[in-house]
Structure 1
Amino acid sequence: MLKYGIALFFVFCLTAVSALEEDDVRSVEPEELEKLLDEGNFEEFSKLMRIDDVNLVIPKDDGSDPMFHEGVPLGDILIPKGEEELEEGDEEEESERAVLNFRKYGGNKWPNGVVPFAIANNHYNNAQRATIYNAINDYNAKNTGTRFVPRSNQRDYVMIFSGNGCYSYLGRIGNQQALSLQRNGCVHHAIVQHEMIHAVGFTHEQNRPDRDNFVRVLWENIPREWHSQYRKGNSDDWVTTTDYDYYSVMHYGMRAPGTGRRAFQILRGGIDERYVGQRGGMTGLDVQKIRNAYR
């Protein structure tokens, strides 16, 4: 196991999030947000959620993979631009990189590991609500050092709703923040937990700086518009605290988006490729890395 202290999490910059600072967005109640959605006032909802692209809020069911969004470099992660720190290097990569770490951006860590949440109940039927709550309860039963609790009067909270696809902010950003679970495609146990783990501050496993020791990315099989989602982080920014987890709920699957061809060559023996990027639920290493960061 790799132990280097507090985890630093390297992520790529999204173009889908506005540059508004936290103080520029007023705090609102979940009921107001749900009313805006029910009325179709997606522009105001997007503004309050700091999402530039209103199309990310408007639900659609066109058969596309809800975990991938064109123009969103990391597919399902929103990051306020105020937290971006671009690196030196290739201009294309530079425009898609950002650093989030709990040492530098202490506010991104949920105080005492408590994550208040609210759900736009009108967006989901009884079975879908049960799936979401079961995923939350299962997450809370694990010893991660974090816990999702129904929001009472907390200023900072996660608003779960059915937008265009599955996505979340990375870590705590202040005031209300979006966690989209599109009713058609995202309301599955592991996908709910995947987005929850983004919300507490973690990105994807295959972006680790040491990933080339464990997988080889088959770039020729991945459409160029998805390349940024497979780039690895910089070891100066990202400190790993667990072994590489092929079976993490945060790892991408073996098939590349858009082509269905192999996205990875596995470089270690004894790995069952059927479960790489599995969507059954959190692994022990998923639990451990969260606990390491929040203890």
Structure 2
Amino acid sequence: MRTVHTISHTMCCAEVATMEEDTSRELSVGELLERANRDRTPDFDEPTLIGGDIAIKSEADRNADPCTSRGCLWEKWSDGKVYIPYYIANHFSSREKAIITRGLESFSSVSCIRFRPYQNGDHEWLSIESRNGCYSYVGRQGGAQTVSLSRQGCLYHSTVQHELLHALGFNHEQTRSDRDSYIRVYWENIIDGMAYNFDKINTLNQGTSYDYNSVMQYERYAFSKNNRPTMVPIPNSNVSLGQATQMSKNDIDRLNRLYKC
């Protein structure tokens, strides 16, 4: 009896180990964001979110793209660079800060964007904090602008890049004004009350083509209530969708076009 018990015990633990290994494979940014924000309970001073992780100040902003409606760009300096001050809250560990810093620095090698530490006298900056979930406003807001990277589930290179792209002015790929030519949305599979996450927005597409591999594209089961796809690429439904783990070439190209780098 005892031997049998030991064997089953070993089997149990091997299974657990495999499970843990499986969940640590690199998940796509959409999966990570959805997991992190799934059971989010916001504090009273936190913003309403749309699209899963986009913060808005008022209901009027729900379908407006700040980049097309009022301008959302951070200022460019005379040397052609865009310097964006940031402050990382001190509740992050040094390992967590390193992940955030790596994400911030990944922009300088591919664009004219330069994130730099906050200094006295800065009028606007990104305040990177561990709030409830992962989220950011779209584009420059003025003053201290929260980017939430919760210590529970948001500290990955892809999620840091994703939230920073929101702060730089980008929406999700699946809300692009031309998405119906590239994606079929299966409304009947979307969680009740979540359909607004798929509303199209009058986006600035920068003359770039739709990108299934954008770090801003959610995966095909995003917001699904029945484990059936909510988004399928057209005309070829087998195309890989929303599997990015970092910015694509198209994301970088678009960023450079928006800021005229």
What's the TM-score once normalised by structure 2's chain length?
A: 0.74
Letter in 2 for 1:146: I
Task: Report the alpha carbon displacement of residue 271 of structure 1 after superposing the two structures with TM.
Answer: 5.8
Q: CA separation in 2, counterparts of 1:133 and 1:195?
A: 13
Alpha carbons of structure 1 residues 207 and 110: separation in structure 2 relative to 1, 3 Å:
same
- Asked if structure 1 preserves the Cα contact closer than 8 Å seen for 2:224 and 2:230, the reply is no
Does residue 263 of structure 1 match 2:244? no
Structure-2 residue corresponding to 1:283: 248
* Corresponding residue SS for 2:35: coil
Q: Does 2:110 match 1:142?
A: yes
Q: Unaligned 5+ residue runs, structure 2?
A: 1-33, 42-47, 77-81
Aligned residue number for residue 247 of structure 1: 213
Among 125, 131, 138, which residue is 2:99 paired with?
A: 131
Residue 190 of structure 1 aligns to a residue whose secondary structure is: helix
Read off the aligned partner of 1:75 and give its amino acid letter: G
1:218 aligns with 2:195: no
Measure the CA separation in 2 of the matches of 1:155 and 1:256.
Answer: 37
For 1:280 and 1:72, locate their aligned partners in 2 and report how far apart those are by CA, in whole Å.
22
Question: Is 1:204 matched with 2:169?
Answer: no
Mind listing any 5+ residue stretches in structure 1 that lack a counterpart? 1-63, 86-95
**Residue aligned with 1:129, SS:** helix
Give the structure 2 partner of residue 111 of structure 1.
Answer: 75
Residue 111 of structure 1 aligns to a residue whose secondary structure is coil
Provide the C-alpha distance between the structure 2 equivalents of 1:229 and 1:179, rounded to a whole number of angstroms: 19
Which deviations, in whole Å up to 9, do the C-alpha atoms of 1:75-99 show, x marking residues without a partner? 21123349x46xxxxxxxxxx4223
The structure with more radius of gyration: 2
How many percent identity over aligned positions? Answer: 34
The 5 Å alignment of 1:10-25 reads none
Describe the shift of the 1:240–1:111 C-alpha distance in structure 2 as closer, same or farther (beyond 3 A): closer
Q: Corresponding residue for 1:30?
A: none
**Alignment CA distance shift 1:210-1:128 (3 Å):** same
| SS class of match (1:184) | coil
Aligned position for 2:63: 97
Cα offset for 1:222?
A: 0.8
The answer as to 2:51 corresponding to 1:74 is yes
What is the distance in 1 between the residues matched to 2:199 and 2:231? Answer: 12
Equivalent residue, structure 2, for 1:48: none
Q: Match of 2:200, SS? A: coil
Change (3 A) 1:170 1:142: same
Distance (Å, rounded) in 2 between the aligned partners of 1:264 and 1:75? 15
> In structure 2, what is the Cα distance between the partners aligned to 1:243 and 1:177?
30
Please say if residues 130 and 148 of structure 2, whose CA atoms lie closer than 8 Å, have aligned partners that are also in contact: yes
Specify the SS of the correspondent of 1:287: helix
Q: Secondary structure at the match of 1:141?
A: coil
Counting matched residue pairs gives 214
C-alpha offsets along residues 209-254 of structure 1, whole Å, 9 cap, x if unaligned? 11111110111111122211112124xx645421100000000111
Kindly indicate whether the alpha-carbon contact (under 8 Å) linking 1:73 and 1:226 is maintained by their aligned counterparts in 2. no
Aligned-partner Cα distance in 1 for 2:252–2:172: 14
> Higher mean Cα deviation, 237-246 or 223-232?
237-246
Distance 1:216 1:243 in 2: 17
Root mean square deviation of aligned Cα: 2.4
* 2:80 paired with 1:120: no
Tell me, yes or no, if the aligned pair for 2:126 and 2:144 is still in contact at 8 Å. Answer: yes
Shift of 1:270: 8.8
**1:156 lines up with 2:98 in the alignment:** no
Name the counterpart of 1:6.
none
C-alpha distance in 2 between matches for 1:165 and 1:119: 16
Match of 1:11 in 2: none
Residue identity matched to 1:109: L
The answer (yes or no) to whether the contact 2:105–2:114 under 8 Å persists in 1 is no
